[in-house]
Amino acid sequence: MSRQEKLAALASTGVTKAELDNIDGGTARGTTAIADGDGVLINDAGTMRMTSVETMATYMGTKVGGLKEFIVSSGSISNAATQAFTQFDSSKYVHYLFEFRLVIPATDNVLLGVRTSSNGGSSYDSGSDNYHNLGNTADVNVIDPFGTNTFGSDSGELGVSLDIECRLPHVTSSYTYIISSGGVGHDHNNRIYSNNYVTYGGSRQATANVNAIQFFFSSGNIESGEIRMYGIKDS
């Protein structure tokens, strides 16, 4: 069969030149590894179309729930009074995870504290009755995500390496919960504590759409370290 006959046969099936170009790589874009800018061939209701891997990633992200997605890093913290995160997005995420990487206080023997905001971080709730810590009914003005364990700043004391969850922040029919979900802390006596077997944290005592969070030590600044924010995606 001649080339012309082959083309005629293909044409009789309804295959278009644009579709053939897609199949034979006429608009191919990438390398042997998947990377931004690569093309993906899709059967769109009977028509072959080329789309991008970025479009596919966006689509898949709307269909798969429970995935952890990196949002932002504090960068290298240097002698900061607090570290706040305002990148909450109720259209994409149901919970958030904050990963502490060697966050060291500037002052020895201090507690780690957490406060929340429902106005995008313009202010943080710090009233004497805004929170309860887990297992306690006493009103407090700050959540202690590692209980009463304090952290050190002396040489060789490496502060906090901990995961902290912010659960149900956008559900206005429920409290927002702050839960430490694994990690270690180096106290002011050079002792290492783990919360893998004991869960610490607390909750707000008023319902709201929480959309910002603030971390700090009970005295002095955050000397160094990094905190990364992740979103747990809805589907």
Least confident span in 7-21, 76-90, 112-126: 7-21
- Band (pLDDT 50/70/90 cuts) for residue 76 is very high
Q: Hey, how many other C-beta atoms are within 10 angstroms of the C-beta on 68?
A: 14
Domains of the chain in start order, with CATH, are 3-63 (no CATH), 68-233 (2.60.120)
Place of tokens 């919360």: 195
- Band (pLDDT 50/70/90 cuts) for residue 61 is low
Query: Could you say which DSSP state residue 153 is in?
Result: -
Under a CB-based contact definition with an 8 Å cutoff, are residues 157 and 151 in contact? yes
pLDDT tens-digit map of 198-235: 578 999 999 999 999 999 999 999 999 999 999 998 76
Strand, helix or coil for residue 178: strand
Q: What is the dihedral of CA 157, 134, 98, 187, to 10 degrees?
A: 0
- What is the pLDDT at residue 191? 73
- Per-residue pLDDT at 196 exceeds 70: no
- What is the pLDDT at residue 139? 95
- Per-residue pLDDT at 65 exceeds 60: no
Instruction: List, in order, residues 6 or more apart from 46 with CB less than 8 Å away.
Output: none
Instruction: List, in order, residues 6 or more apart from 118 with CB less than 8 Å away.
Output: 125, 208, 209, 210, 211, 212
With a pLDDT cut of 90, the percent of the chain lying above it is 50
- Per-residue pLDDT at 32 exceeds 70: no
Distance CA 32, CA 39 (A): 12
Work out the average pLDDT over 56-68: 67
67 or 205, higher pLDDT: 205
- Per-residue pLDDT at 49 exceeds 90: no
- What is the pLDDT at residue 10? 62
If we measure between CA atoms, which residue out of 134, 141, 154 comes closest to residue 198?
A: 134
Work out the average pLDDT over 91-107: 94
* 3-class secondary structure per residue, 118-138: CCCCCCCCCCCCCEEECCCCC
Distance CA 217, CA 196 (A): 21
- Per-residue pLDDT at 185 exceeds 60: yes
